[in-house]
Chain A
Amino acid sequence: MKKLSKIYLGLVLFFLYVPIFVLIVFSFNTTKSRTVMSGFTFDWYIKLFRNEIIMESLWNTIIIAVIASITATILGTAAAIGINNMKKVPKAIVMNITNFPIINPEIVTGVSLMLLFVFFAARMNFEFGFWTLLIAHITFSVPYVILNVMPKFRQMDPFLYEAAQDLGCNSRQAFFKVVLPEIMPGVLSGFMMSFTFSLDDFIISYFTSGSDSQTLPVTIYSMTRRKVSPEINALSTIIFLVVVIVLVLKNVIERKSENNKVKVKGEKV
């Protein structure tokens, strides 16, 4: 049983990783062939870094992801506080609408935003580009922030805030010193989620991007539709490495802080 389950796990991992490793291996190929390795080279990486379109869209992607996730986090956290204080029925209505972009197929969200932007673009004389992308990214990110923050309120002691005020905090102090630290894990994970979703989003960006400010996934899509150059493999390799490094770091930090917590608790006892 133990052995069998290890084999099974191995097979699934093989299935998940083989395509990625094939991409990586052929990013070092001297020719464009994807079946025969004819030599080792870094040429495609050099070409990739010289490719202005890719570099520019990478820059756009990062800027949009940063602004969108910060805005979404602030907007979403504030919203979660307010929604938490609502009565049952309005709360249910708001939460249902908030869930919509999550449940809805991305293509429908993208299309609906496109229709909205087209409608206003014609009347208010603006055009698709950076701002439409940003708005779209904030829109699909906020619900994730709210959904991450809301449960933290449920776990929090409802009297904590009042206790802080009784002890002489004004409401701002009470919020920043008492409430915020309590909900911080939810805020952070909401921020991380919206950041990664924003970095990775293709479908919604595809429908809301304009003549400038393409994001990286949109550029990748147009790359796969043309003469494909192994630059795309090089790009995959770099993205993969970045992901590995970030995730490993995250894991290490989390584990350390957990160990610390255990230690602190141990000392207290």
Chain B
Amino acid sequence: MAVLMCGSMFTGCSSETDAVEEEEETEVQTLTVADEEYYKRFYDDGISINVYNWGEYISDGSDEGTLNVNAEFTKLTGIKVNYTNYATNEELYAKLKGGGASYDIIIPSDYMISRMIKEEMILPLDMNNIPNYKYIGEAYKNQAFDPENEYSVPYFWGTVGIIYDTTLIEEENIDWDILWNEDYADRILMFDNPRDAFAIAELRLGYSLNTEDEKELEAAAELLKEQKKVVQAYVMDEIFDKMGAGEALIAPYYAGDAVTLMAEYEDLGFVIPESGTNLFIDGICIPKGAKQKEAAEMYINFLCEPDIAYSNTYYVGYSTPNTAAYEMLDEETKNDGISYLPDEYLMSNTTVFRNLSDEANQKMQDLWTELKSTQDQTKNKWIVPVFMLACVILSITILIMRYIKKKKDIF
């Protein structure tokens, strides 16, 4: 149905839909879609869709020459986009599970997709509405989290590695244990979500990243507790700020964000440890309760437009599963050893998260809260009840004393 002209990358083509605000010095990317008719279906209906995405995970046109994806979508289809952010998969889960807010598009990661499928929180997609699915590389289809490709369309993929300041860290063969190195105490950042944080400890201990064994989880938590002494802060996207400003020297994070950071700050380096890492695929899904399913599918299709996917990968820095967009990348990006890795490495050294059992999730969560709240103090679970009791007694005593005083005053 949709025969797409490959988007002309930089200015040159000037059909009417291409009107992107021109900035004189820079070359500006333009958008070309073949099947414009498809996108015009809701043009005059004045509808809007609610998109809930990770922070810094879409091109907003602030990099010169790239497209503002949401604005382009509105311009093309007449559908307004309400765009909001979350920082972790668990936050997304809580917001959906809590109910109330309805979204039309969400972008969870692999393990969260399978959890949401299991809990019937996302809807099967109508692939007839997403012709651009054909651009998705075979390697990213039929993954364990969505074996039939019914629920999700891969958006980005990537690995986890270590971002570090090359001017101050001279070690070679950087591995996960550098995150425990006391020489860098208080200059190390750490993931602020249990799944990614535990994965690093599990990698060090040689456990599976999908372990559900209570003992193994406890051992990992113990290792993380040990790390807490050298950790400056637990963060997610604050990492851009803290690494960029030189606040911290080392931080584990997603490869795509490392690319973005390194483009801005030359002193930063990125390494994917030899000992292995986590491979993630973030998929675009439509949650149950979506009000505009068809428009949402149109949005998914739009995100798979080669021009849009290219603009996104250029801005976001993550690796695109879109083959047509991949072709548009320059050789330098294709071979940077960060975004796109040799297949052998991906096959042998990376693990994709699977959804854990409810018990294991709960266990991990409990251990995580404990880790974040403990300090080098002795624990005493009686303090609060005793404190409350003391308050009650004090307030009753005062009441009685006042009562007595009042009586005295009367007489």
Direct touch of chains A and B (CB < 8 A): yes
Seen from chain A, the residues whose Cβ lies within 8 Å of a Cβ on chain B are: 32-34, 47, 52-53, 114, 117-118, 121-122, 127-129, 132, 210-212, 214, 222, 225-228
Question: A-facing mask of B50-62, CB < 8 A → 1, else 0?
Answer: 1010011000001
Q: Which residues of B contact A32 (CB under 8 A)?
A: 244
A53-B83, A211-B50, A214-B84 given; A226·B99 CB < 8 A: no
Would you list the 5 A-B pairs with minimal beta carbon distance, nearest first? A211-B50, A212-B82, A227-B240, A210-B101, A128-B100
Q: Which residues of B contact A129 (CB under 8 A)?
A: 101
Contact indicator B102/A210 (Cβ below 8 Å): yes
B99 nearest in chain A by CB position: A118
A211-B50, A226-B55 given; A127·B102 CB < 8 A: yes
Seen from chain B, the residues whose Cβ lies within 8 Å of a Cβ on chain A are: 48, 50, 52, 55-56, 62, 71, 82-85, 87, 98-103, 236-238, 240-241, 244-245
Which of B56, B98, B103 contacts A226, CB < 8 Å?
A: B56
A32-B244, A127-B101, A225-B55 given; A212·B237 CB < 8 A: no
A224 nearest in chain B by CB position: B238
Complex: A228 Cα to B237 Cα, angstroms: 9
Contact indicator B240/A211 (Cβ below 8 Å): no
Closest beta carbon of chain A to B289's beta carbon, Å? 8
Contact indicator B55/A211 (Cβ below 8 Å): no
Contact indicator A211/B84 (Cβ below 8 Å): yes
Complex: A226 Cα to B99 Cα, angstroms: 25
Complex: A214 Cα to B71 Cα, angstroms: 18
Contact indicator A228/B241 (Cβ below 8 Å): yes
A53 nearest in chain B by CB position: B83
Q: Which residues of A contact B238 (CB under 8 A)?
A: 225-226
26 A-B contacts (beta carbon < 8 Å)? A33-B245, A47-B62, A52-B71, A114-B98, A117-B100, A118-B98, A118-B99, A118-B100, A121-B99, A122-B99, A127-B100, A127-B101, A210-B102, A211-B50, A211-B52, A211-B101, A211-B103, A212-B84, A214-B84, A222-B85, A225-B55, A225-B236, A226-B55, A226-B85, A227-B55, A227-B244
A211 nearest in chain B by CB position: B50
Q: Which residues of A contact B100 (CB under 8 A)?
A: 114, 117-118, 121-122, 127-128, 132, 210
Q: Which residues of B contact A47 (CB under 8 A)?
A: 62
Which of B87, B101, B244 contacts A128, CB < 8 Å?
A: B101
B104 nearest in chain A by CB position: A211
Q: Which residues of B contact A127 (CB under 8 A)?
A: 100-102
Complex: A132 Cα to B100 Cα, angstroms: 10
18 more CB-based (< 8 A) A-B contacts, given A210-B101, A214-B84, A227-B240: A33-B245, A114-B98, A114-B100, A118-B100, A121-B99, A121-B100, A127-B102, A132-B100, A210-B102, A211-B82, A211-B84, A222-B85, A225-B55, A225-B238, A226-B55, A226-B85, A226-B238, A227-B56
